[in-house]
């Protein structure tokens, strides 16, 4: 049964890691109503055939192509011209040309706007940033067909985004901007990875509820929104959120493949078509859904939300954050008191668990921190190297598992897990106060781990059912945490590798109950026919 427990933990981790990958590509010969990345790539190759910064002759070629394509898809097309001052040189002005397309709906409510920018950085062909967003919208229009939706459908390809969101600022002066009820923006910071819903407008509970109903392969969580809100980053959507009162918004991007970002390497051949497919999966499903929905019904409080493999998009009111976090923290206290009374938790065992966790996290974090500072000046690619991060994450796992294996020879599984469980529960309470959108990442893994620790504190034999139940308590942690650790490294590069490594070490100790129980079983300490009792309260081993 011990091997079954190991299999459960490994399988959960594998499912979690696979959640960091975009979906597979739909081929060109798929039914016409489906989004196909292979078909959308025809647009990417035309748009990103060469660098086309705003104001360049090639940029005009791209603009003409897009106008023709939109018209062929049954859209009424115009070009909004103006000028803007660049953020590179506030004294310089540049001519701007937004491409504005509209298809009238059968209703009279607010319009749905699909938004992407068609300019590129100076030397970049811009396949990922942002031909992918433009192509996703064009293929979505083709898949939807010419029939009108309930709402007006607007498509805007902005100019001058790379020079300071100039096209988006110009768009706000267009009369159609005042008709918008919901904006879906598609962008990229790289050329691969899943398309992530990383930002919403405030008051997103109704938006997220509707997204959850139709998204086929969502990648989204409220932690990303909390983090992005605190970063000095902007997209075209930032202009809408600042200047358009009452407009709802969803922002999508893929962020892997940073080495290609704003460089000559951002070519169509280098673009991961799976990322384009994921962009299109969002665009098609949400356009069809929100195009028929009354967009005046989307006002609501904020929600906490996260996507999980095999489950989809989970969401609940932000008002639940603090009560749930407090409930888990109180549960930890109750388990400790009950375990101490039963004699299955000892002071020495709890100290061993706390010490092992602290030492593992400290050593692993220091190794990654020192390694980064030693190597960053000698290797120009170390900042984005996945191998660097994976090596130190693996070391964190090896150190943690090794320490747990040795400690499990003397101390009970519950004793070794309590300190980490208490830390995660405390982080949940702190997050509920300071950053509620982040609470799901600590509260739910801690809640299930708490159930496992509670089972492990019961005296008596560890039969197959008990071992399996304790192993299952690790599933949420293994499914939810590794993808976020990976995504944090992708988004922030190896500058935060030491943080990711520390979290990896803490994850090992959060699931200490099933791991230590398994080690004891493999070492012959735990048998289904023999009682397994942790050291008594005075600290001697059982």
- What string of DSSP letters covers 371-430? HHHHHTTT-TTGGG-HHHHHHHHHHHHHHHHHHHHHHTTTS-HHHHHHHHHHHHHHHHHH
State the average pLDDT for the chain.
Answer: 92
> What integer pLDDT is reported at residue 142 of this predicted model?
98
pLDDT for residue 539 is more than 60: no
- What percent of the chain is predicted at pLDDT more than 90? 83
Which residue bears the tokens 């989809």? Answer: 312
Q: At what angle do helices 475-492 and 439-456 cross, to 10 degrees?
A: 150
Q: What is the pTM of this model?
A: 0.92
In the predicted structure, residue 536 carries a pLDDT above the cut 50: no
Give the start-end residues of each E strand in 136-240: 153-158, 180-188, 196-200
Angle, helix 2-18 to helix 475-492, in steps of 10 degrees: 30
Over residues 105-113, mean pLDDT: 96
At residue 150 the predicted structure's pLDDT band, cuts being 50, 70 and 90, is: very high
- Give the pLDDT confidence of 248-267 residue by residue, as tens digits: 999 999 999 999 999 999 99
Confidence of residue 88 (pLDDT cuts 50, 70, 90): low
Q: For residue 177, what are the contacts with CB-CB under 8 A and spacing of at least 6?
A: 171, 244
Predicted confidence at residue 89, as pLDDT, reads 60
The yes-or-no verdict on residue 193 having pLDDT over 60 is yes
Residues 310-330: what's their mean pLDDT?
96
């Amino acid at each position: 049964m011990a091997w079954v427990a190991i299999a459960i933990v490994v399988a959960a981790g594998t499912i979690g890691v696979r959640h960091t990958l975009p979906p597979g590509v739909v081929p060109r010969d798929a039914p016409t109503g489906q989004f196909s990345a292979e078909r959308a790539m025809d647009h990417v190759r035309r748009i990103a055939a060469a660098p086309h910064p705003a104001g360049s002759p090639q940029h005009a070629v791209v603009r003409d192509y897009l106008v023709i394509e939109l018209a062929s898809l049954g859209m009424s097309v115009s070009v909004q011209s103006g000028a803007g001052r660049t953020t590179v040189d506030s004294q310089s002005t540049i001519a701007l040309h937004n491409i504005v397309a509209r298809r009238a709906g059968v209703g009279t409510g607010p319009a749905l706007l699909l938004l992407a920018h068609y300019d590129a950085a100076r030397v970049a062909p811009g396949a990922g940033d942002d031909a992918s967003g433009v192509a996703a919208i064009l293929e979505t229009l083709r898949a939807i067909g010419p029939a009108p939706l309930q709402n007006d459908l607007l498509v805007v390809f902005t100019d001058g985004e790379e020079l300071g969101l100039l096209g988006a600022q110009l768009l706000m002066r267009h009369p159609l901007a005042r008709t918008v009820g919901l904006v879906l923006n598609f962008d990229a910071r790289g050329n691969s990875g899943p398309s992530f819903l990383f930002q919403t407008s405030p008051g997103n509970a109704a938006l997220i509820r509707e997204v959850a109903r139709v998204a086929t392969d969502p990648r989204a969580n409220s932690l990303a929104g909390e983090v992005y809100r605190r970063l000095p980053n902007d997209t075209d959507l930032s202009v809408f959120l600042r200047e358009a009162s009452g407009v709802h918004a969803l922002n999508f991007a893929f962020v892997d493949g940073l080495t290609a970002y704003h460089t000559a390497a951002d070519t169509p051949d280098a673009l991961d078509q799976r990322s384009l497919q994921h962009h299109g999966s969002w665009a098609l499903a949400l356009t069809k859904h929100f195009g028929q929905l009354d967009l005046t019904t989307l006002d609501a409080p904020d929600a906490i939300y996260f996507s999980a493999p095999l489950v989809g998009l989970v969401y609940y009111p932000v008002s639940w954050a603090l009560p749930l976090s407090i409930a888990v923290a109180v549960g930890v206290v109750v388990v400790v008191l009950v375990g101490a009374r039963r004699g299955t938790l000892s002071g020495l065992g709890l100290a061993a668990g706390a010490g092992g966790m602290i030492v593992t996290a400290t050593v692993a974090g220091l190794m990654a921190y020192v390694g980064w500072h030693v190597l960053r000046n000698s290797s120009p690619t170390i900042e984005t190297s996945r191998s660097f991060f994976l090596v130190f994450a693996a070391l964190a796992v090896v150190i943690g598992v090794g320490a747990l294996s040795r400690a499990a020879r003397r101390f009970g599984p519950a004793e070794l897990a309590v300190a980490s469980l208490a830390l995660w529960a405390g982080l949940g309470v702190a997050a509920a106060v300071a950053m509620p959108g982040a609470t799901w990442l600590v509260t739910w893994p801690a809640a299930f781990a708490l159930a496992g620790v509670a089972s492990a504190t019961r005296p008596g034999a560890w039969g197959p059912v008990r071992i399996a139940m304790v192993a299952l308590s690790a599933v949420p942690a293994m499914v939810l945490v590794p993808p976020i650790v990976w995504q944090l490294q992708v988004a922030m590069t190896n500058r935060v590798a030491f943080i990711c490594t520390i979290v990896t070490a803490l994850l090992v100790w959060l699931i200490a109950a099933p791991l230590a129980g398994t080690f004891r079983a493999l070492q012959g300490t735990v048998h289904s026919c023999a009682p397994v009792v942790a050291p008594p309260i005075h600290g001697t081993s059982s």
